[in-house]
Amino acid sequence: MNSMLNRLTIKEIIEKYPFVINFFEENGLNVENYGEKTFDDYLNHFTQEEIEEWGIDVENLKDGLAEYISQMIEFLGLKEEKSIDSITIIGGTDKSGNKEQFGQLTIHKSQIVSIVGPTGSGKSRLLGDIEWIAQGDTPTKRRILINGQVPDMKWRFSSNNKLVAQLSQNMNFVMDLTVHEFLELHAQSRMVVNEKQVIKEIVEAANNLSGEKFNLNSQITSLSGGQSRALMIADTAILSSSPIVLIDEIENAGINRKEALKLLVGSNKIVLMATHDPILALMAHKRIVIKNGGIDKVIETSQREKEILSQLEKMDSIIQNMRTDLRNGLTIDSL
């Protein structure tokens, strides 16, 4: 436990074990401005005078934090899991039974992979294989590895070990709750200690993605499609434990898609994105091309494509600005 805590920043420790906030508060440790530092770095910032004046026992605090986390894990009935750093797709067959045109593809966390292909080509089947942790027992005969190994099959059957968070094109809420009530329920289910701060972060992040802002008192059933999608992307990035995120045609959501991807990738998630948008396809580190139900090829985004992407983004910015002007009742006088 100590060696693991030495590697993580305070922010990462709080995200992994939200209950440590209590430990910091009970020991009078103000870590608010040290989120990017390790706990060791934080303790080492105290001067000798402060240590003597306040009676700070550095070694005891180090051991105490590790012991506190271990006791809380046992008390809450949690089980420590090795983090998911990568998934590997091992090729199967297409709809005609032909072998897929690649050997295997490994995707690491904080990477974006786009999935392109005609409607009905098999994009959803690929994501289904990943969610099911296929082991040659689906129509495609693909196999999925986690961290390079055949995974524990608990990922298939346990509701507490959700591997994939799916964000579909239509985000329709059926509960008659406010945004605050909805997020509060999710935060409580994740045993988040600093609920108010986390809820505030989610709403701020969502409003940064959405064209039309909303607040904590807004009814979730009254949110527009873009607002709903923005809320769920922010919620997934900040609160969801699922290490893999599937986004289906984010270009149709009416949100800032570039900022949405930055938010998700910044949360150390593996992002797979089915899209028909050339900008999104080129924003990905790699793209999977689907034909006839199979993976036809895997293409790494080239430097030239990145240069073209820059030009496309400039064109897109012009279109977005025009769209905003038209929505605000202005006229278009020049290009």
309 within a domain of the structure (yes/no): no
Same domain, 158 and 94: yes
- Give me the residue label for tokens 């050339």: 278
Same domain, 144 and 183: no
What is the residue type of 260?
A
- pLDDT band per the 50, 70, 90 thresholds, residue 241: confident
pLDDT of residue 292: 95
At residue 284 the predicted structure's pLDDT band, cuts being 50, 70 and 90, is very high
Residues 210 and 224 in one domain: yes
pLDDT band at 251 (very low <50, low <70, confident <90, very high): low
Rounded mean pLDDT, 182-186: 90
Can you give the residue range of the structural domain that contains 65?
2-76
Domain count, the chain: 3
HSE-CB at 49 with a 13 A cutoff on CA atoms is: 0
* Global confidence as pTM: 0.70
Q: Are residues 30 and 177 in the same domain?
A: no
Statement to judge: residues 152 and 258 lie in one domain:
yes
The alpha-helical segments, DSSP class H, found in 145-194 are 154-157, 179-189
Asked if residue 98 and residue 52 are part of one domain, the reply reads no
pLDDT, mean of residues 97-114: 91
Q: Are residue 92 and residue 58 in the same domain, yes or no?
A: no
Q: Tell whether 256 and 118 lie within a shared domain.
A: yes
Q: Are residues 150 and 249 located together in one domain of the fold?
A: yes
Same domain, 72 and 199: no
Query: Is residue 134 predicted with pLDDT exceeding 60?
Result: yes
The domain that contains 124 carries what CATH number? 3.40.50.300
- Report how far apart, in Å, the C-alpha atoms of 252 and of each of 170, 187, 248, 277, 330 are: 10, 28, 9, 9, 24
In a domain, 307, yes or no: no
What mean pLDDT is predicted for residues 312-327? 87
Per-residue confidence (pLDDT) for residue 153, from 0 to 100? 76
Say if 185 falls within a structural domain.
yes
**Rounded to the nearest 5 degrees, what angle is found at the Cα of 117, between the Cα atoms of 111 and 119?**
125
Q: Which of 59, 76, 93 delimits the end of a domain?
A: 76
225 and 93: one domain?
no
pLDDT(335) > 80? no
Q: How confident is the model at residue 92 (pLDDT cuts 50, 70, 90)?
A: very high
Is residue 271 in some structural domain? yes
